[in-house]
Structure 1
Amino acid sequence: MSTTHAPPGRAAAVAPALLVGAILLLALNLRGPIVAVSAVTEQVRADLGVDAATVGLLTSLPVLCFGLATPLASVWLDRLGLGRGVLVALAVLAAGVLLRSAGGFGVALAGTLLIGAAVTVGNVAVPVIVGRDLPERAGPVLGMYTAALNVGSMITLSATVPLAGATDWRLALAAWSGFVLVTGVVWWWATRTLPGTARTDGTHGPSPAGTWWRRPVTWGLTIAFAGQAFSYYGVTAWLPTLLADRLGMTAVAAGAGASVFQIAAIGGALGVPLLLRWCRTEWVPVAVVAAAWTPLPLGLLLAPEWWAVWCVLSGAAQGGGLTVIFTLVVRRARDLTENRRMSALVQGGGYAVASAGPFVLGAAYGATGGWTAPLLVVLGAIGVLLVAGVAAAWGARDLRGGQRGAVRRPGPGNPG
């Protein structure tokens, strides 16, 4: 007598692979819709009748949302569960992408806020989902996730310009809502079929509400991520201008040169999990990432003609920095509830600080008329990443013998 059910072993093997695929598709949507505007800034500015600084809100506001909306995103996921919470957020993201192209600047701003809020939910959810459903693969999966964030940005930037040329900027930006909907279908299928999803979808756990935020590791990782994110968004905003000023590049060449910094992040995102696996203590990968970040500000100060080398090294570091911090959150959280809360605080605090990065570097440039002060500011932020990150990771157990603070699953021998 036959049965239509797959063997238990096969179901367990297929569902994690499907979930990883859904996470990577989700990552492609967590930066692409935001950076797409930068590819058609001039068309948007001319059509909406606003200046360059005003249209810049369409790319800077989502980063501010990452910081301010993170507590609400954590509550949202607590109420709806991880699978349903992200699925609804993808629907909101698609609506925001469409709304942004539907009217004047006020409507575009409203759509942008929806995009920022929806992406914030995805930002918070991914480390929690990885810690819950893929704990033994946390490093590699978070590395692939970080790489997919950068790939999504590159795909969107490269495809939006020809789409706008064939149609207009509104249709070019709105077209990305279709990819969001495809991701939503895959996400629904992955979370629906994952073994144990219905039983463990809630993120409630036994962590006392008054203890998780008192842990030094929580604040150390928050401060470290603030240094990482501040450096990344500040450099991303001003690197093309810096290359044009210091090296006499054309705007097109400077933009292409700055893309090296973004592309190199893929190597760092995929390489850091290997480093985490090889090193016996967690602070070493943090120190390596911070050290690899320093060539960009120092190199552009002392030997700007080698800019491509500095962009490759520090680009890999910025991709690796995101991966190592998210991995430490997963490893140090004592249960699923603490994972969600730590992820929310680390990202909320870090992104709130990061939203000031472009402004602070621009103010330093305007006040001094040169790039020495802005680059020293970046170097200082990298120092914050180094000190806070190493302090948070200090004293870990031998990683090859077990992970300290790894997220624990409920079970007969582990009720928490």
Structure 2
Amino acid sequence: MILVGLNLRPALSSLAPLLPRIEGEGVLSVLVLSSLTTLPVLCLGLFAPFAPWLAQRLGMERSLALALIVLSAGLALRGFSHAPLLFTGTIMAGAAIGILGTLLPALVKRELADKADLMTGVYTMALCLGGALGAGLSIPLANLLGSWSFSLMAWASLSLTALLAWWLIMPQPLPEIQPKASNKRIRSLLKQPLAWQVMLLMGSQSSLAYIVFGWLPTLLVRQGYSESEAGWLMGLSILTQLSSAIAAPWIARMSKDQRPALMLVLVLIGLGLWMLLLGSPALRWPGSIVLGLGQGGSFSLALTLIVLRSGNSKIAGELSALAQGGGYALAAMGPLVVGFMLDANLSIQAIAQLLFAILAFAAAMALLAGRKRCLESNAQGEFITVNQRT
């Protein structure tokens, strides 16, 4: 699980530090680059709902292995500067990450139900480490290998390593035969406000994360920082996420009500964004750390809520598909809008206002999704929302 988590972010974070260099070479326009930051996030949302279907036919372990194969191939193709191959590789990588990220919460709920929240924090910490490596090493790799294309392609080696280890170590159970999710059951899930609240929280906080992954270095370069420093600022922010990713679920498990923990991490995100984008240049390094603490905790808690708001592993898989499918589709709009704003030469202040508006919406959803509620199934197989026992 940790090895898989390590590969869920380099495909997203490794491109952003290279965007100013790619734009400067005139290889791709700003609008095309904007679509490259949006496309993988959109694929996360489009392909996440297919994860339960795939797991029913191949089993969860084999589905994860197949997704790692697709991820490796996508990362290799993404290294070609030829636009069709670049876009094809980006779509493949986004689709694979959508499958991997959706299956992991269900696997955690199945294998480690009693410690599901803490295990979610552990693999989220690995996920953050992968994101930090992608952000921090992209420019050094490009300088070492002599090309931004080779820098992007190099990340396929990490996913191939994870695939080899996963295939050698993973168990080989037969697929669990489960009844196919009926349209009635899907409609029943969509009627539950709690499911929507978890999904919208996942989408809004993920939108901020992918705006940072996609555009923070570009925003910092436009403020006068070098591309190398901008990449390291983002890398430090993502690296800092490791500590809060593991700590936030531990703090949240002290109560069935996760609202205080959610509010804390969202306030940290807002403070970090203000320090980086609107504050004094002297605040850039502390701001990077504060932003990382907030975003690591918010993402870890959002994933943890999928587990905590689910009565069993089957429900966790279904809620994960909805929350991550719909949430990432919503999150994809954030990097796209910021790309349009940059192309229109709007000010950093205008972009910051958009980020704070998204943050306020995330806080509203957190106050609802963080309450002591849980999704269960009744005798008719329909979803119901019940109060959790303290």
Q: TM-score, normalised by structure 2?
A: 0.83
Question: What is the distance in 2 between the residues matched to 1:117 and 1:317?
Answer: 27
Residues 111-133 of structure 1 show CA distances to partners (whole Å, capped at 9, x for unaligned) of 22111111111011111111111
Do the aligned residues in 2 keep the contact of 1:81 with 1:201 (CA within 8 Å)? no
Aligned with 1:333: secondary structure?
Answer: coil
Unmatched 5+ residue regions in structure 2? 378-390
Letter in 1 for 2:189: W
Aligned counterpart, 1:65: 43
2:93 to 115, 122, 130: 115
Alignment of 1:145-156 (within 5 A): 145-156=123-134
Question: What is the distance in 1 between the residues matched to 2:246 and 2:228?
Answer: 29
Q: What's the offset of the Cα at 1:224?
A: 0.9
Structure 1 residues 287 and 204, CA gap change in structure 2 (3 angstroms): farther
Asked which structure has the greater CA Rg, the reply is 1
Letter in 2 for 1:83: E
Alignment of 1:341-380 (within 5 A): 341-364=318-341, 369-380=346-357
Q: What's the offset of the Cα at 1:42?
A: 6.9
Residues 264-298 of structure 1 show CA distances to partners (whole Å, capped at 9, x for unaligned) of 21121011022113335222222222222221344
Residues 33-77 of structure 1 show CA distances to partners (whole Å, capped at 9, x for unaligned) of 343344555776799943344245444321110112222233222
Do the aligned residues in 2 keep the contact of 1:240 with 1:254 (CA within 8 Å)? yes
Aligned counterpart, 1:192: 171
Q: What's the offset of the Cα at 1:353?
A: 1.7
Q: What's the offset of the Cα at 1:309?
A: 3.0
Structure 1 residues 272 and 134, CA gap change in structure 2 (3 angstroms): same
Question: What is the distance in 1 between the residues matched to 2:154 and 2:217?
Answer: 27
Letter in 2 for 1:229: S
Residues 98-152 of structure 1 show CA distances to partners (whole Å, capped at 9, x for unaligned) of 3334672212221221111111110111111111111122222211222212211
Question: What is the distance in 1 between the residues matched to 2:220 and 2:82?
Answer: 34
Question: What is the distance in 1 between the residues matched to 2:131 and 2:50?
Answer: 25
Question: What is the distance in 2 between the residues matched to 1:380 and 1:46?
Answer: 31
Alpha-carbon RMSD across the aligned residues, in angstroms, is: 3.2
Aligned with 1:211: secondary structure?
Answer: helix
Question: What is the distance in 2 between the residues matched to 1:367 and 1:105?
Answer: 23
Do the aligned residues in 1 keep the contact of 2:256 with 2:371 (CA within 8 Å)? no
Question: What is the distance in 1 between the residues matched to 2:179 and 2:348?
Answer: 46
Letter in 1 for 2:242: I
Aligned counterpart, 1:126: 104
Question: What is the distance in 1 between the residues matched to 2:158 and 2:296?
Answer: 24
Alignment of 1:48-59 (within 5 A): 49-59=27-37
Residues 213-270 of structure 1 show CA distances to partners (whole Å, capped at 9, x for unaligned) of 2222110011111210122222343433444555x43343333333332222112101
Instruction: Establish whether residue 74 from structure 1 lines up as the match of residue 48 from structure 2.
Output: no
Letter in 2 for 1:264: T
Do the aligned residues in 2 keep the contact of 1:89 with 1:118 (CA within 8 Å)? yes
Q: What's the offset of the Cα at 1:330?
A: 0.8
- Percent identity between the two aligned chains: 26
Aligned with 1:151: secondary structure?
Answer: helix
Question: What is the distance in 2 between the residues matched to 1:324 and 1:71?
Answer: 21
Question: What is the distance in 1 between the residues matched to 2:142 and 2:348?
Answer: 34
Alignment of 1:16-415 (within 5 A): 23-41=1-19, 49-101=27-79, 104-169=82-147, 170-192=149-171, 197-198=173-174, 208-246=185-223, 248-279=224-255, 281-299=257-275, 303-305=279-281, 306-364=283-341, 369-396=346-373
Question: What is the distance in 2 between the residues matched to 1:326 and 1:132?
Answer: 15
Aligned with 1:50: secondary structure?
Answer: coil
Structure 1 residues 298 and 406, CA gap change in structure 2 (3 angstroms): farther
Do the aligned residues in 2 keep the contact of 1:99 with 1:110 (CA within 8 Å)? yes
Deviates more, 1:297-306 or 1:60-69: 297-306
Do the aligned residues in 1 keep the contact of 2:35 with 2:336 (CA within 8 Å)? no
Question: What is the distance in 2 between the residues matched to 1:368 and 1:161?
Answer: 25
Do the aligned residues in 1 keep the contact of 2:12 with 2:214 (CA within 8 Å)? no
Structure 1 residues 363 and 110, CA gap change in structure 2 (3 angstroms): closer
Structure 1 residues 174 and 261, CA gap change in structure 2 (3 angstroms): closer
Unmatched 5+ residue regions in structure 1? 1-22, 397-403, 408-416
Aligned with 1:279: secondary structure?
Answer: coil
Question: What is the distance in 2 between the residues matched to 1:208 and 1:238?
Answer: 39
Question: What is the distance in 2 between the residues matched to 1:50 and 1:201?
Answer: 47
Do the aligned residues in 2 keep the contact of 1:212 with 1:338 (CA within 8 Å)? no
Q: What's the offset of the Cα at 1:182?
A: 2.4
Deviates more, 1:114-123 or 1:261-270: 261-270
Do the aligned residues in 2 keep the contact of 1:224 with 1:389 (CA within 8 Å)? yes
Aligned counterpart, 2:383: none
